[in-house]
Amino acid sequence: MDVSQYLDIFIDETSEHIQELSDNIMALESEPDNKDTVNEIFRAAHSLKGMAGTMGFKRMQHLTHDMENVFQKVREDTVTVNSELIDILFDCLSAIEEYLDNVKNTSDEGTEDNQVLIDKLNRYLSGGAGAPAAAPAAAPAAGGGAAAAPAAGGDAAGGQEEYKHMKLDEDERLKAQEMIDGGTRVYGATVHIQKECLLKAARAFLVFKAVDDFGDILAYNPSNQDIEDEKFDLTFSILIALEGNADVEAMRSAITAVSEIEKVELGELSKDMLSKDAKPAEAAPAAEAPAAAPAPAAAPAPAAPAPAAPAEKKAAAPAAKKAAGGGKPANKPVTSRTVRVDIEKLDSLMNLVSELIIAKNSLASISSSEDGKYDSQGFHDQIEYLERVTTNLHESVMKVRMVPIESTVNKFPRMIRDLSRKLGKPMDLVMTGEETELDRTVVDQIGDPLQHLLRNSADHGIESPEDRKRAGKPEKGTIFLNAFQEGNNVIIQVGDDGGGINTEAVKNKAIERGVMSEEEAEMATQKEIIDLLFMPSFSMAKKITDISGRGVGLDVVKSNIEALGGDVEVKSTLGQGSTFIVRLPLTLAIIQALMVEVRDEKYAIALASIMTIENIAISDIKYVQAKEVIHLRGLVIPMIRLDELLDLPPKDEEPTSLTVVITKRGDKYAALVVDNLIGQQEIVIKSMGKVLENNKLISGATILGDGEVALILETNALM
């Protein structure tokens, strides 16, 4: 059965089941006797197993099957849940995730059997649930992890001699094996098509035709249908049963004679290699150059490439990876990014589109009215109607792009649990507002910064249980993540009830590092000191752990968040904990902006960055260090003449008063002098094209109602 068309669904649903399992296993740890949770887990594990089996991912199926067995026993109350079991289960989940990643990248599950995990599960089942079993089990587990790496490497080299690990269904495999038994030579071939080739399917067809003269094609990978539809990258593999005494070398030349074929790898397959449990990666000696691979037909060696010994395999895999890396940069994921859309959102879109059609028809009927005179009242009404429809349409489409942050944050409880065990500090993660929606792009990219902040809280924030006890706090620390919408922004607070930021320690560190002089440090406000933490390579960790303290820390968080158009600030009270407040724009593509005019050019300034707009008399301009400033309600604000900044000619005569737009970023201000204000407008942000994108002053462009392009000023760069 061809299942490749279900791959997307499989990936989606598997991720969901993994998440569900992860959530429920967490819940199970806190209440081991809750039968509902166990049933949920059982169901999810069962579905996982079923899906993996249907898709032919045997290793994944095997592992999930054994997990299911464990849950079965838990359901029957024959084994008890303890944290050792939970650990094993989480390891299993990680392994399944790894399979899933492989599937995403290569549409194949990879070659890691995870036998260690399976053994552990079974040992647990057979009653070895005690602590002694845990210690020896830990050692092989580490070994298993190490073994996984080279195996993954071998997988990356999948571009080489793919025919050796073609996916065959049962019928194809049996047929091929019968053939071999009957004395027919069965060859595998992997054909590489040139990158520039435009008609891949046609080339593949010609290859098949060429092969037809020498034998029958037993199996295709990807499927014949997919090859016809050009649903393959640059390589495909086929299994050929050679006729009587057909010459393999002649077949090779026939295949390479097809134009735009880069190379073809051919090799005879033995029955072993086709058998069900043969490890596909078994034979992949990297040193073997593709051209040299096939043994001459005259020497009917049992299996041209001898199965490499395990030790060799390990050595060969990294080399193969290198070889493959030279050709193609990275494996492209085989699936596309998707957004799941609530059917209601789609319905409202559909409604709006039908309204749009009605509006268009009404306009058409007005313009074609018989007497040739337009009914201007009706015309106006229709334009207004059209405007309403387009505004709604726009809103609905934006809503389709919005997804709850849940998909990103729901992996955090598990992470905090792991950290808690690793650091030996009991702690809980409390999350609220997971349903808060953000633009898909933002949700995808906010995961890393948030994860970093949480790790930071777990590592630096929460004190050791002893310290907490001494401070009169509950031994168990609390880390929280709250998300909510505020106007056009989404706020995500990440914090803890730990020790807070020790500003004295930061100060000392700053002086020690020479970032500040002692006098400066004395004068600095608490906020200024906390801001030091966001400086590149300023780490406060006393020792470097693998959790944090490498100095690639908060500065990266800050720049990541700023790249998304957001900002981050910190509130901290010594002894009571600290909170990082991340502010993100609801959507990236559309902003409210103030349109201004400088000479005859129009610019947009993001409304969110504007504090006020003022009229300033020339006589009110003051000078500080020969720079123009204005003094406004107690603030001294540097003045920036946009015409100068934008290389425009100065005005012939200075007017008596200036219009200034006061922009704010954090606690920094700037007063931008403009000629004219046009008004507030919702604008769609567009890129200026790659060659001009790096402009520091201009963050993008937008298209105005009359089709003209206006540029968006990057006010942050002016501060």
Catalogue the active-site residues: 46, 68, 456
Which positions ≥6 away from 154 have C-beta within 8 Å?
111, 281, 284, 313, 316, 317, 320, 321
197 vs 535, which CB is nearer to other proteins?
Answer: 197
Q: How far apart are the first and last CA of the chain?
A: 62
Would you state the structure tokens that stand for residue 244, as one six-digit string? 């009587």
Q: Does 397 bind other proteins (CB under 8 A)?
A: no
606 vs 711, which CB is nearer to other proteins?
Answer: 711
Q: Does 259 bind other proteins (CB under 8 A)?
A: no
Q: Does 661 bind other proteins (CB under 8 A)?
A: no
CB of 704 to other proteins, least distance (A): 9
Q: Does 695 bind other proteins (CB under 8 A)?
A: yes
370 vs 647, which CB is nearer to other proteins?
Answer: 647
Q: Look up residue 617 and give its amino acid.
A: A
Q: Which of 202, 366, 608, 646 binds other proteins (CB under 8 A)?
A: 646
Where would I find the beta strands (DSSP E) of 497-575? Answer: 567-573
Where would I find the beta strands (DSSP E) of 347-436? Answer: 402-404, 427-432
Q: Does 698 bind other proteins (CB under 8 A)?
A: yes
Q: Which positions from 580 through 619 interact with other proteins, judged by CB under 8 A?
A: 601
Specify the 3-state DSSP secondary structure of 437. strand
Q: By rule CB under 8 A, what string of x and - marks binding of each residue 135-154 to other proteins?
A: --------------------
Q: Which of 373, 542, 543, 690 binds other proteins (CB under 8 A)?
A: 690
Stretch that binds other proteins, among 331-339, 454-462, 578-586, 645-653 (CB under 8 A): 645-653
Burial label, 582 (beta-carbon count in 10 A; 0-12, 13-18, 19+):
buried
Q: Is the dihedral of CA 139, 145, 146, 150 positive or negative?
A: positive
Q: Does 430 bind other proteins (CB under 8 A)?
A: no
CB of 674 to other proteins, least distance (A): 14
Q: Does 692 bind other proteins (CB under 8 A)?
A: yes
Are the beta carbons of 578 and 501 closer than 8 angstroms?
Answer: yes
Radius of gyration of the chain (CA): 33
Torsion of CA 402, 405, 411, 416, to 10 degrees: 160
132 vs 689, which CB is nearer to other proteins?
Answer: 689
Which positions ≥6 away from 179 have C-beta within 8 Å?
186, 218, 241
Return the H-helix or E-strand segment holding 24.
helix 7-30
Specify the 3-state DSSP secondary structure of 494. strand
Binding-site size for other proteins (CB under 8 A) equals 25
Comparing CA positions, the residue from 312, 393, 408 lying closest to residue 350 is: 393
338 vs 687, which CB is nearer to other proteins?
Answer: 687
Q: Rounded CA gap, 685 and 83, in Å? A: 50
CB of 689 to other proteins, least distance (A): 4
Q: Which positions from 505 through 564 interact with other proteins, judged by CB under 8 A?
A: none
CB of 565 to other proteins, least distance (A): 18
Q: Which of 11, 710, 715, 716 binds other proteins (CB under 8 A)?
A: 710
Q: Does 196 bind other proteins (CB under 8 A)?
A: no
537 vs 695, which CB is nearer to other proteins?
Answer: 695
CB of 196 to other proteins, least distance (A): 11
Q: How many CA atoms does the CB half-sphere of 367 hold within 13 Å?
A: 8
DSSP 8-state class, residue 576: T
Q: Does 707 bind other proteins (CB under 8 A)?
A: yes
ω into 638 cis (within 30 of 0): no
102 vs 699, which CB is nearer to other proteins?
Answer: 699
Comparing CA positions, the residue from 150, 157, 161 lying closest to residue 304 is: 161
Q: Does 705 bind other proteins (CB under 8 A)?
A: no
Number of Cβ atoms within 10 Å of the Cβ of 142: 10
**Residues across the chain:** 719
Q: Rounded CA gap, 52 and 71, in Å? A: 18
Which positions ≥6 away from 224 have C-beta within 8 Å?
none
Q: Is the dihedral of CA 95, 100, 106, 108 positive or negative?
A: positive
Cα 519 to the center of its chain, rounded Å: 45
Q: Which of 198, 299, 311, 343 binds other proteins (CB under 8 A)?
A: 198
216 vs 693, which CB is nearer to other proteins?
Answer: 693
Specify the 3-state DSSP secondary structure of 457. helix
83 vs 695, which CB is nearer to other proteins?
Answer: 695
Burial 603-625 (b: 16+ CB within 10 A, else e): bbbbebbbbeebebeeeebeeee
Are the beta carbons of 588 and 687 closer than 8 angstroms?
Answer: no
DSSP 8-state class, residue 686: B
Q: Which of 35, 469, 622, 686 binds other proteins (CB under 8 A)?
A: 686
Q: Which of 701, 715, 716, 718 binds other proteins (CB under 8 A)?
A: 701
Q: Which of 424, 487, 649, 689 binds other proteins (CB under 8 A)?
A: 689
The bridge status of strand 657-665 relative to strand 610-617 is: antiparallel
Q: Which positions from 112 through 131 interact with other proteins, judged by CB under 8 A?
A: none
277 vs 647, which CB is nearer to other proteins?
Answer: 647
Alpha-helical regions (H) of 424-489: 440-456, 465-470
Q: Rounded CA gap, 661 and 664, in Å? A: 10
Q: Which of 131, 299, 330, 691 binds other proteins (CB under 8 A)?
A: 691
Stretch that binds other proteins, among 121-129, 165-173, 573-581, 709-717 (CB under 8 A): 709-717
CB of 628 to other proteins, least distance (A): 20
CB of 310 to other proteins, least distance (A): 43
99 vs 603, which CB is nearer to other proteins?
Answer: 603
Stretch that binds other proteins, among 39-47, 377-385, 388-396, 693-701 (CB under 8 A): 693-701
Q: Rounded CA gap, 218 and 229, in Å? A: 19
Would you state the structure tokens that stand for residue 392, as one six-digit string? 């709604």
Q: Which of 711, 715, 716, 718 binds other proteins (CB under 8 A)?
A: 711
316 vs 718, which CB is nearer to other proteins?
Answer: 718
Q: Look up residue 313 and give its amino acid.
A: K
Three-point CA angle 54, 57, 58, nearest 5°: 100
Q: Does 308 bind other proteins (CB under 8 A)?
A: no
Residues that bind other proteins (CB under 8 A): 198, 601, 645-647, 686-698, 701, 703, 707-711
